[in-house]
Structure 1
Amino acid sequence: MATSVSTQDPFKYTTIAHSGHHYCSPLSSETAASLLAALQLQAGALVLDAGCGKAALLRDLLASQPVRGVGVDINPAFLAEAANAWTASNPGDGRLTLIASQLEQHPLPAGGYDAILCVGSTHALGGFEPSLALYRQWLKPGGMLLVGEGYWKRPPSNEYLMTLGATEDELSSHAKNIARALAQGFKLRLAMASSDEEWDWYEHMYCQAVMQYAASHPQDPDAPAFRDRARRWHDSYLAAGCSTLGFGFYLLEKS
């Protein structure tokens, strides 16, 4: 029997599921530090975090380099967490601007961005290639784009696709992601992929957060459906996802 969900908050589940994550993607702090260091930005550079979530990657960048950041997302809970975390760690530092908006509707800087981060958020602009095309317009000449995108390690089963709510043509391979970026006029500076350990940790924390919420909020009418959804998702990851779905990081330069 299906369990009904009463929530009117479309972001409630993902907010709960990512409550224990620093990055809302299969990314370790060590890998993140390597990717950010490879950006090699000038002091004062303006960086967009597109679909920023908690803006953790952008906040880490601002903490390590003297640049300015703009984070755009539509989840108010994530943005509030980002703002609180930044203010607590950097009182009086106004280099971070957070905007609640659809990506294509946020106010663009007249001169463009020096760099754009988009990790796991290309769906907000219709997919990988449409996002690359638009970000290329938003970047200054020579600007850098760090994009995180899923890919198939092997052809997905129909059962796994049903769990994802996806079709096979929504993703390609790691190599084809690179080829698609080059076809959009970018130069490849670096390509990396999430490790099995990064995936396992991300998925474990995702499921654990939902289970803990359901156990501690028995009066929430959404809790049973959330618990069942997380369990099905994690079972699917263990059965097929860990061997089927990859996540790549592509550092690209606008040529």
Structure 2
Amino acid sequence: MSTSSQDQFKYTTIAHSDHRYCCPLSPAKASTLLAALQLTPDALVLDAGCGKAALLRDLLQSAPASVRGVGVDINTRFLTEASNAWASSNPGDDRLTLVESQVEHHPPPATGYDAILCIGSSHVFGGFDRSLATCWQWLKPGGLLLTGEGYWKQSPSEQYLAMLGATRDELTSHEQNVSRALANGYKLLTSAVSSDDEWDQYEGMYYRAMMRHVATHPEDPDAVVFSERAQRWYDSYLESGKATLGFGYYLLEKN
């Protein structure tokens, strides 16, 4: 597989071709989570590791007209897709700013953010606990953090850990994710988890997009490797992942 800097996101970009959200999240659940934010006029929202910034775009569509959003990511193709989608559906609307940068290299405004979205991207801060601590520093008093984080539904097998390239202590349980947030000073406002249907939809689309690419781009030098990787991943999801890996959403308030 190509390892040049411009291609480092090639696999994940192709696999997420058909996804609106790059996580197991349905539009209905996204709408419910965003409604709970209840942002005030003139609020400034950061989407850290925003990917296609779909959740941030949805938020701006439903929030007061003066709410502004900043999406930060290092995947150029995702950002381009987000920019084009926003411009197409909201011509002349400058409330969305997209920045190609490491999140830690994009300092917060002096007054802080009113809300931060960090969905499946705590790694941009160096892990879940560090994301909680950094977001606390970047939020205004009373600011909100909507974070999405993986958790173990059950103890993972060694075989599944090897497939993920993960260690057992990388994740905890859903309940422990909440406890970690509380230990960092946050108040929990609401939480939710991805359903089996959302997981099936996410993983099925991921697999089909990659296999479609391989079938329609036989000249791609990565085709064979990508095909084998996608098949192993999907087989592992059906065998172990669905029962083992969960994804939780936590709306937190800085006290």
CA deviations 1:62-115 (Å, max 9, x no partner) are 011121100000000000000000000000000000000001001321110000
How many residues are treated as equivalent by the alignment? 251
- 1:17 paired to 2:12: no
Report the counterpart of residue 89 of structure 2 in structure 1: 89
**Residue 34 of structure 2 contacts residue 59 of structure 2 at CA under 8 Å; is this kept in 1?**
yes
**Residue 7 of structure 1 contacts residue 222 of structure 1 at CA under 8 Å; is this kept in 2?**
no
1-structure distance, mates of 2:107, 2:136 = 16
- 1:44 paired to 2:42: yes
**Residue 120 of structure 1 contacts residue 150 of structure 1 at CA under 8 Å; is this kept in 2?**
yes
Structure 1 counterpart SS, 2:36: helix
**Residue 49 of structure 2 contacts residue 73 of structure 2 at CA under 8 Å; is this kept in 1?**
yes
Matches within 5 A, 1:173-192: 173-192=173-192
Which blocks of at least 5 consecutive residues in structure 2 are unaligned?
none
Matches within 5 A, 1:1-255: 5-6=1-2, 8=4, 9-66=7-64, 67-255=67-255
CA deviations 1:115-167 (Å, max 9, x no partner) are 00000000111110000000000000000000000000000000000110000
Which blocks of at least 5 consecutive residues in structure 1 are unaligned?
none
CA deviations 1:160-192 (Å, max 9, x no partner) are 001100000000000000000000000000010
2-structure distance, mates of 1:154, 1:209 = 29
**Residue 147 of structure 1 contacts residue 250 of structure 1 at CA under 8 Å; is this kept in 2?**
yes
2-structure distance, mates of 1:113, 1:241 = 35
2-structure distance, mates of 1:158, 1:125 = 27
Cα offset, 1:44, TM superposition: 1.4
- Amino acid in structure 2 at the alignment position of 1:234: Y
Q: TM-score, normalised by structure 1?
A: 0.97
1-structure distance, mates of 2:145, 2:199 = 23
Question: Percent of aligned positions with the same letter in both sequences?
Answer: 67
**Residue 23 of structure 2 contacts residue 120 of structure 2 at CA under 8 Å; is this kept in 1?**
yes
Distance 1:140 1:6, change over 3 A: closer
**Residue 2 of structure 2 contacts residue 8 of structure 2 at CA under 8 Å; is this kept in 1?**
no
1-structure distance, mates of 2:76, 2:207 = 22
**Residue 152 of structure 1 contacts residue 172 of structure 1 at CA under 8 Å; is this kept in 2?**
yes
| 4+ runs deviating over 3 angstroms | none
Cα offset, 1:6, TM superposition: 3.6
**Residue 122 of structure 1 contacts residue 128 of structure 1 at CA under 8 Å; is this kept in 2?**
yes
- Amino acid in structure 1 at the alignment position of 2:84: N
1-structure distance, mates of 2:69, 2:113 = 10
1-structure distance, mates of 2:241, 2:87 = 37
- Amino acid in structure 1 at the alignment position of 2:60: L
**Residue 150 of structure 1 contacts residue 247 of structure 1 at CA under 8 Å; is this kept in 2?**
yes
CA deviations 1:219-249 (Å, max 9, x no partner) are 0101111111011000000000000000000
2-structure distance, mates of 1:152, 1:107 = 32
Structure 2 counterpart SS, 1:39: coil
2-structure distance, mates of 1:187, 1:16 = 37
Structure 2 counterpart SS, 1:92: coil
